[in-house]
Every structure is written in C-alpha cells, then in structure tokens.
Chain A
C-alpha cells in the first residue's frame, strides 16, 4: 500500500514536470511527444485510482489519437517556435508606433 502511494506521488511529479515542459519547449515536435508522456502518466494515475475504463480512454485518446493529429498538424507548419522574428516584430512595433502609443 505504501509502495502504491509512493509510485503515485512519483507519477504525479512526472505529470507536473511534463506539463510544464510542454509549455516551455520551443521545439513543437518535442512538445507533442512530451504531451503524450503527460497523457500516459495521466492514464497511469487513473489506473492507480482504480478506474481502468477512464485510463483506457485517456491512453487511447490522449496518448494515441491526439498525438497523431498533432503530428499531422505539425507537418503543415514550421517545427520551431521562432523567437527572433517575434523580437524583431516587437522591436519594430515599438520603434514605429511609440509616438502613437504615447499620444493615444
């Protein structure tokens, strides 16, 4: 029983780490794969809480089909989140419209 609670806590720590890493990572393919890790640890959490049906749904939908659909969507857009372009854009807007913002 103690082993179950310890493994439960470990899996929840993995859950939080993967959830934060999904948001942080700039490589979108890595984000998708880490998100499937998140879904799978969620499924194991459901399994520990004795609800195998929900665990199966989470593993099939979260880790299975949504990862596939994310990969399919990713193949139509660039893989990396571009930081430089965003900085340029913000700089440009800051330079161009600084007067406008100040006046308005």
Chain B
C-alpha cells in the first residue's frame, strides 16, 4: 500500500516538473492572452491561431466576455444541447428505477431527517438562503465570469438537497414541491432548442445567436451581455438544479421496483421535451 503511495507520489512530481510554465504565451490555448493589440501575424508566427480566433471571437461572435461560456454554449452548441438532453434522459431512467408504483403520500420507509443537534439545524437554516443566492449569482453571471448554468444549477440543487437531507422529506417538499420540479425538469433542452429555433424561424441557421437582427442583445461586459446565452444559461441552470433535487426526492421516497406496471412517473415532462427535435417547426 505504501509502495503504491510512493510510486504515485514520484509519478506526480515528475509530471508536475515537466508541465509548461503557467501562463506561457507559446502554449496554444493562451495565444490570445498576449495583448489585445498584438498584430495577428506575429501571434500566428509564435503559436497556432485557433486560440486567438476563439478568444477574440467570443465577444465578436457571441457577445460574451467569458471565452469558455462562448465556447461551450455557442461554438460547440450541439454538444451542450445533447449534454443537457443526456442529463434529462438519465434523470428519467433513474426515477423510473427508483420510483415503483406512484402511490401518493405513502412510501416504503419514511425519511426522518438527519438533524439531531440544534446547532446543525440552525446553521443549515441560516446557510441555505445564501446557497440559493450564490447559485442564482453563478447562473446569471455565466457570461461575464467563470461559472455558468451547470455549476450554478448544481449549487442550486445542492441547497435544496441539503435542506431535505437535514430536515425531513416533508419539510423539503414544503419548500420545493416536486410538482413544481416536474415542470422545470425539461427546461434545459427545451430552452436550448427554443433559442436555436428562433434562429431557424428568422431565416438563419440553427443556434445562430449573435447574427439575428431585431432581438436586443445587450452590452458586452455587463450582466446583460447577450440575450440568447442568458436564456440558455437560465434554462440549463434551473433544469440541472431541479433534476438533482428530483432524483434525490426519488431516492428518499424509494419503493421496491415491481414489474407489475410500468412506471408512469416519468411521463409528465415528456410533453415539454418533445420540442427539442424541432420537427414541426422546420
């Protein structure tokens, strides 16, 4: 065991010592960090131009000062669209295993919360509003700072999961009812496909974000940097948060899986998710 530890330690130190210096302008991903006024020819001479294109195109093509958000949501938009769809389908699969027969208000083992000390309950009650606030902050600042829909959504979901974990399932259900979660679940793929279809309807390509005329885009660098990216971030954030909370509720109210009847639990949100194919709009 200790031999394994020392072998890994040696390997790690060797790898760290061979990393390129941090912030080296000759490394391809940092090519755009040279300076905004450096002529393009010089940068292309020094390193490849891909990093430069994406770093400068983030504001020019997407209106988003954070290059990573522009990359994830716009340059590789199809990838993220399918990512949100995969998360949504994974939630449906998990819930269809966890939730057997949909009997209302009656579950196998009632979930008693984990609160046994007053300190824990008081601290959680004080902390959870700040967690929700921080999650919303991360979601809304997706285009201007690191972060975005996925991270903010996970923080948002973690706050509700924490509340329902420490207090009981009924307390969590009072704060965030699962009927409301069912509506928001499919918001990620739905909002993505909606924003993409706006481009199709107005005569551009699918997911053409910045080019569309007649839609307010906001000012680059402020909170309202670009409307399509903001809508997508909101959809992904609320969708991911509600999916995490919903899977946790399904886990808490777990019933033994029976083969008698297929689970109709996952059906209510199917109507919203159907739009993502975009068939009838074409």
Interface range on chain B: under 10, 10 to 19, 20 to 34, or 35 or more? 20 to 34
B8 at the interface (CB under 8 A from A): yes
Q: Is the CB of A52 within 8 A of B12?
A: no
B142-191 interface with A by 8 A CB criterion: 146-148, 150-151, 154-155, 157-158, 161-162, 165
Q: Is the CB of A53 within 8 A of B16?
A: no
Main secondary structure on chain A at its contact with chain B? helix
A12 to B146, CA, bound (A): 23
Q: Is the CB of A60 within 8 A of B146?
A: no
Segment of B200-208, B228-236, B244-252 engaged in the interface with chain A: B244-252
Q: Is the CB of B16 within 8 A of A5?
A: yes
Contact of B244 among A15, A50, A65 (CB under 8 A): A65
A32-71 interface with B by 8 A CB criterion: 48-50, 52-53, 55-57, 60-61, 64-65, 68-69, 71
Nearest to B7 among chain A residues (CB) is A16
Contact of A50 among B4, B16, B22, B248 (CB under 8 A): B22
A50 to B147, CA, bound (A): 14
Q: Known A9-B13, A16-B8, A69-B248; judge A60-B22 contact (CB<8 A).
A: no
Residues of B within 8 A of A17 (CB): 5
B216 at the interface (CB under 8 A from A): no
Interface range on chain A: under 10, 10 to 19, 20 to 34, or 35 or more? 20 to 34
Residues of A within 8 A of B157 (CB): 65
A61 to B155, CA, bound (A): 8
Q: Is the CB of A1 within 8 A of B21?
A: yes
Q: Is the CB of B165 within 8 A of A68?
A: yes
Q: Is the CB of A50 within 8 A of B151?
A: no
B268 at the interface (CB under 8 A from A): no
Nearest to B13 among chain A residues (CB) is A9
Residues of B within 8 A of A64 (CB): 154-155, 158
Q: Is the CB of A16 within 8 A of B150?
A: no
* 7 residue pairs A–B, Cβ–Cβ below 8 Å: A5-B16, A9-B12, A12-B13, A16-B12, A52-B146, A65-B158, A72-B165
